[in-house]
């Protein structure tokens, strides 16, 4: 009696839907929670087969398997969908529990726990893990997984397949000037236009702020070009309007025959190379990747070098080198050195500056490197101040991007104050093209640095067409004659005349003259005859590590003291 009262209380007041079933799967009772969840009252359920009551035809096998297990006296569990009387689908966790009278099994309980809310939350989290929240497109990781499977299937069956990498041009400008919210709205509206071109079964993903990839199955490159043309046409027709302002953006497309690539990651990399190549040719351009394309190869090398730059910064693989700038006439006080940046590979080998410097300039890493050189130079001078000549001057190169940054002037002042280095020991070299292209920021920086006591040299002078015209507007302390002009004076009178003219104008303005890339004794003799003040090049001094110079100076000091 006591047990039956306890059972009745538990069955009636349970919060989970419960059903009592006999050995023939006929319903004996349901509790109030069952009626509340599924809409079936106890009296109308009794005697009906449990599978006819709740189970859709497609799920009969799943229900049969659970019932068969329970008839064996085992407890069973499954997750499934059950529909209420009004058609509402509920995700439920179902438990089948056998009921015994002594050793004899007399039926079983079905317990239904509604997990719809939890399932919905889980599905949402799962969706978020695989999709870009702004556009609803696949994200990079999910795209790579799905695209790799499609690539393997296409290769096995011999089906053609093409991957398109898409960049939005001028997106960063709009983001920076109008704010990220406007940028997000632009992306969504542009994608609405582009989606009309994309087939339902194509894989479309957002892999970066303004970068997208599109995988076209069963589509050869020549057919993909037609799709690319439609994407370009859709972008050209798109006009973004906000706050009474109209914005026109373009796209760049890189295509690759992905069915010929070993992995989807390789295909994405090569499509990106082609896209960057297209972008350099202007907006709304298309480029098809080819392994033997020189431009694609160069883009790939630069992009790889950019990754290497970031890694080298993280792993402290940059080194300071120096090259002495030699005086060609007496009476010039102190010695002058140009600080040069070198990068070590992961194997410890020197990487040519011709590889990583252009990459840093193209992919916005150059200002980080400029600041690194300045900081390291000032710290090195401060650390070895006692072993150095107070009249020595150290030249540091600056890029135009760095010169244009509003906070760079404060950064220089801060580093000088922190290290205590005399500004008169520092010279900044600015290329002629940089100074002319950013005249206002160059003038502001030059005037501020000269006021501090630093000197300014104009680098690569003579490489532009308006050198003399701009020289009178730039208050610099020196100029470095471009190496091409130095080489050009060897065999022609006109070449010597150009260098002579530069020297005469510089001296008339009270500016010292430096010749770059001096490689032969003949160069040196001509430069002396023309009155050049300083010379720099492999003939006079090959660049060497700064640490070697510091060590030599320290050894010399010890020797002198003994």
| Position 151 confidence tier, pLDDT thresholds 50, 70, 90 | very high
Hey, what are 421's tokens? Answer: 């280095």
pLDDT (mean) for 181-204 = 90
Give CA–CA dist 236/256, Å, rounded.
Answer: 23
As annotated, the residues of the chain forming the CATH 3.30.450.20 domain(s) are 2-119
CA nearest to 175, candidates 240, 269, 107, 258? 240
pLDDT (mean) for 528-548 = 91
| Out of 56-65, 137-146, 302-311, 424-433, least confident range | 56-65
What stretches of 14-139 show up as alpha helix (H) in DSSP?
Answer: 32-38, 42-45, 50-54, 60-71, 116-130
Give CA–CA dist 442/331, Å, rounded.
Answer: 30
Q: How many CB atoms neighbour CB 500 within 10 A?
A: 16
Would you say 325 and 535 are in contact if contact means Cβ atoms under 8 Å apart? yes
CATH top class, domain 375-389+396-561: alpha beta
Give CA–CA dist 33/42, Å, rounded.
Answer: 10
Q: In the chain, what is the straight-line distance between the N-terminal and C-terminal CA atoms, in Å?
A: 109
Diameter of the chain measured on Cα atoms: 124
CATH top class, domain 131-291: alpha beta
Tell me the three state secondary structure of residue 424. helix
pLDDT (mean) for 204-210 = 91
Q: How many CB atoms neighbour CB 351 within 10 A?
A: 18
| Out of 163-177, 287-301, 413-427, 459-473, least confident range | 459-473
DSSP string across 286-299 = EEE--TT-HHHHHH
Give CA–CA dist 547/553, Å, rounded.
Answer: 10
Given a cut of 50, whether residue 428 has pLDDT beyond it is: yes
What rounded mean pLDDT belongs to the chain?
Answer: 86
DSSP string across 54-69 = H--GGGHHHHHHHHHH
pLDDT (mean) for 222-236 = 93
Instruction: For tokens 């349970």, name the residue.
Output: 14
- Of 121-125, 303-307, 373-377, 550-554, highest mean pLDDT: 373-377
| Position 492 confidence tier, pLDDT thresholds 50, 70, 90 | confident
As annotated, the residues of the chain forming the CATH 3.30.70.270 domain(s) are 131-291
pLDDT at 336: 92
Given a cut of 50, whether residue 1 has pLDDT beyond it is: no
**Residues above pLDDT 70, as percent of the chain:** 92
| Out of 4-13, 250-259, 534-543, least confident range | 4-13
Query: What is the C-alpha radius of gyration for the chain, rounded to an integer number of angstroms?
Result: 37
Decide: pTM greater than 0.75: no
Would you say 538 and 519 are in contact if contact means Cβ atoms under 8 Å apart? yes
Fold classification of 2-119 (topology level)? Beta-Lactamase (3.30.450)
Burial (0-12, 13-18, 19+ Cβ within 10 Å), 295: middle
Q: How many CB atoms neighbour CB 292 within 10 A?
A: 6
Burial (0-12, 13-18, 19+ Cβ within 10 Å), 359: buried
pLDDT at 530: 92
pLDDT (mean) for 40-46 = 89
């Amino acid at each position: 009696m006591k047990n039956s009262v306890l059972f009745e209380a538990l069955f009636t007041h349970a919060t989970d839907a419960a059903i009592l079933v006999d050995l023939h799967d006929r319903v004996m009772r349901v509790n109030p929670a069952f009626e509340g969840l599924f809409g079936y009252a106890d009296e109308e359920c009794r005697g009906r087969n449990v599978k006819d009551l709740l189970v859709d035809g497609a799920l009969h096998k799943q229900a049969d398997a659970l019932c068969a297990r329970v008839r064996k006296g085992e407890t069973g569990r499954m997750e499934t969908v059950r529909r209420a009387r009004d058609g509402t689908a509920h995700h439920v966790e179902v438990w089948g529990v056998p009921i015994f009278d002594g050793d004899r099994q007399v039926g079983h309980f079905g317990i239904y726990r509604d997990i719809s809310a939890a399932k919905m939350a889980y599905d949402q989290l799962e969706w978020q893990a695989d999709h870009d929240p702004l556009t609803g497109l696949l994200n990079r990781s999910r795209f790579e997984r799905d695209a790799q499977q499609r690539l393997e299937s296409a290769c096995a069956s011999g089906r053609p397949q093409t991957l398109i990498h898409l960049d939005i041009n001028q997106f960063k400008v709009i983001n920076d000037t109008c704010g990220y919210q406007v940028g997000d709205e632009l992306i969504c509206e542009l994608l609405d236009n582009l989606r009309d071109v994309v087939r339902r079964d194509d894989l479309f993903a957002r892999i970066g702020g303004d970068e997208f990839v599109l995988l076209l199955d069963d589509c050869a490159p020549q057919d993909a070009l037609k799709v690319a043309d439609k994407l370009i046409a859709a972008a050209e027709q798109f006009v973004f309007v906000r706050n009474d302002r109209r914005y026109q953006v373009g796209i760049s497309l890189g295509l690759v025959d992905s069915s010929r690539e070993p992995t989807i990651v390789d295909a994405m990399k090569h499509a990106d190379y082609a896209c960057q190549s297209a972008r350099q040719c202007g907006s709304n351009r298309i480029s098809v990747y080819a392994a033997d394309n020189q431009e694609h190869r160069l883009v790939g090398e630069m992009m790889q070098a950019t990754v290497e730059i970031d890694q080298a910064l993280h792993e402290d693989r940059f080194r300071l080198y120096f090259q002495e700038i030699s005086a060609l006439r007496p009476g010039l006080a102190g010695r002058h050195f140009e600080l040069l940046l070198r990068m070590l590979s992961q194997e410890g080998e020197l990487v040519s500056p011709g590889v990583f410097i252009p990459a840093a300039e193209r992919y916005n890493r150059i200002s980080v490197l400029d600041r690194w050189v300045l900081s390291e130079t000032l710290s090195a001078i401060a650390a070895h101040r006692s072993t150095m000549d107070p009249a020595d001057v150290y030249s540091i190169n600056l890029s135009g991007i760095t010169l244009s940054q509003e906070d760079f002037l404060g950064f220089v002042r801060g580093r000088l104050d922190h290290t205590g280095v005399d500004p008169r020991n520092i010279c900044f070299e600015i290329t002629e093209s940089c100074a002319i292209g950013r005249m206002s920021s160059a003038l502001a920086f030059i005037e501020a640095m000269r006021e501090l006591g630093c000197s300014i040299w104009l680098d690569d002078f003579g490489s532009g067409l308006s050198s003399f015209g701009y020289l009178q507007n730039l208050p610099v302390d020196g100029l470095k004659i471009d190496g091409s002009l130095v080489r050009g004076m060897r065999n022609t009178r006109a070449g010597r005349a150009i260098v002579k003219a530069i020297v005469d104008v510089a001296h008339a303005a009270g500016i010292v003259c430096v010749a770059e890339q001096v490689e032969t004794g003949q160069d040196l003799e001509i430069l002396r005859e023309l009155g050049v003040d300083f010379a720099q090049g492999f003939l006079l001094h090959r660049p060497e590590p700064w640490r070697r110079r510091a060590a030599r100076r320290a050894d010399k000091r010890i020797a002198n003291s003994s």
